[in-house]
DNA sequence: TTATCATATGAACATATACTCATATATAAC
DNA sequence: GTTATATATGAGTATATGTTCATATGATAA
């Protein structure tokens, strides 16, 4: 990790000035990480199509209710989904419209 | 995982029809996962500002050359960054413009 | 050739994580 | 009250992952 000759200090300094705070970068990475699991990305995609309760998500993805609940917690913590309780049933939906845009942009990358 | 009363079969069937293939969903999740690490998201963000060689990235983020190389491989595999070799020096840049949009959308979500 | 520089990579290790299982909580019906 | 339903959660476990260290590869210079 010694300073190498190939390093242009000015260029590095330029970029360093533009870097966001560690808190913001942490949140950014954590948001991507929350979406970076097959089960969770399927849940988020499904919720981008329709509001669903926990049992419906489990049935749709053919996984256990417990697994769904655990993953919904991760998504809730990152404010990617929100819940609304009606009696015994808890319905989940995307937290905001940006999540939809995020999905769409990523699909665009994957498709090309 | 028995069928629960709360499940509306028609609603579940509707969403199931809209679900993408496992291959596509896998690629989607893998792309998010590649961005879902603090080191890698910092690298991608830096590259969205300027083309940089491996040593410059290591200097900028204050981490070892080896760690950077390992993470660049992950990003290359997911086609998030591309490399161009000039003599001994390898310069990295974002692979396509969608990556920039992805970053921007995620920042929007994190900022609000 | 030999030496140096820039980068890549394999192995090892410590941490993180996604699931299962069992159980807790909360609501509704009886 | 009891029972059933829907969801949440803690513990345990097997797998995945990010780093370090050592070394390999490849290019340039002497």
Across residues A3-29, what is the average pLDDT? 94
Hey, what are B49's tokens? 């500002």
Q: Would you say residue A36 lies in a domain?
A: yes
Contact assessment for residue A15 and residue B49, using Cβ atoms and an 8 Å cutoff: yes
What dihedral do alpha carbons B50, B52, B56, B59 form, nearest 10°? 50
Produce one character per residue of A38-76: b if its CB has 16 or more CB atoms within 10 Å, e if not. bbbbbbbbbbbeeebbbbbbbbbbebeeeebeebbebbe
For the domain that residue B94 is a member of, what is the CATH number? 1.10.10.10
Distance separating alpha carbons of residues B17 and B38, to the nearest angstrom:
35
Across residues B20-37, what is the average pLDDT? 97
Closest CA to B54 of B67, B39, B35: B67
Q: What is the pLDDT of residues A38-47, one digit of tens each?
A: 999 999 999 9
A3 pLDDT above the threshold of 80: no
Across residues A24-48, what is the average pLDDT? 98
Mean pLDDT over the full length of chain A: 95
Q: Do B105 and A98 touch (CB under 8 A)?
A: yes
Q: Would you say residue B36 lies in a domain?
A: yes
Range of the domain at A74: 9-111
Of A18, A41, A53, the CB nearest to B28: A41
Provide, as residue numbers in chain A, all residues whose Cβ is less than 8 Å from the Cβ of B66: none
Domain count, chain B: 1
Q: What is the pLDDT of residue A1?
A: 37
Q: Would you say residue B2 lies in a domain?
A: no
Residue B4 or B85, more confident: B85
Distance separating alpha carbons of residues B57 and B40, to the nearest angstrom:
11
Q: What is the pLDDT of residue A39?
A: 98
Q: What is the pLDDT of residue A4?
A: 75
Q: What is the pLDDT of residues B47-101, one digit of tens each?
A: 999 999 999 999 999 999 999 999 999 999 999 999 999 999 999 999 999 999 9
Q: What is the pLDDT of residue B4?
A: 76
Provide, as residue numbers in chain A, all residues whose Cβ is less than 8 Å from the Cβ of B88: 6
Q: Would you say residue A88 lies in a domain?
A: yes
Of B38, B45, B49, the CB nearest to A26: B38
B3 pLDDT above the threshold of 90: no
Mean pLDDT over the full length of chain B: 95
Across residues B38-49, what is the average pLDDT? 98
B5 pLDDT above the threshold of 90: no
B1 pLDDT above the threshold of 50: no
Q: Would you say residue A2 lies in a domain?
A: no
Q: What is the pLDDT of residues A71-110, one digit of tens each?
A: 999 999 999 999 999 999 999 999 999 999 999 999 999 9
Residues 23-82 of B with CB under 7 A from strand C: 53-55, 65-66, 69-70, 72-73
B26 touches strand D (CB under 7 A): no
Percent of chain B past pLDDT 90, that is, above it, reads 95
Provide, as residue numbers in chain A, all residues whose Cβ is less than 8 Å from the Cβ of B71: none
Across residues B14-37, what is the average pLDDT? 97
Contact assessment for residue B71 and residue A58, using Cβ atoms and an 8 Å cutoff: no
Q: Would you say residue A1 lies in a domain?
A: no
Beta strands in A9-80 (DSSP E): 52-53
Q: Would you say residue B50 lies in a domain?
A: yes
Q: Would you say residue B3 lies in a domain?
A: no
Hey, what are A32's tokens? 């991507």
């Amino acid at each position: 990790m010694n300073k190498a000759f190939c390093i242009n200090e000015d260029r590095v300094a330029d970029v360093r000035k533009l870097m966001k705070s560690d808190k913001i970068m942490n949140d950014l990475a954590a948001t991507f990480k929350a979406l970076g699991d097959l089960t969770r990305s399927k849940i988020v995609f499904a919720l981008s199509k329709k509001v669903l309760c926990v049992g419906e998500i489990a049935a749709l993805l053919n996984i256990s209710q417990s697994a769904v609940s655990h993953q919904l917690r991760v998504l809730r913590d990152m404010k990617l989904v929100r819940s609304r309780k009606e009696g015994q049933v808890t319905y989940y939906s995307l937290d905001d419209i940006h999540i939809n845009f995020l999905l769409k942009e990523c699909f665009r990358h994957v498709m090309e």
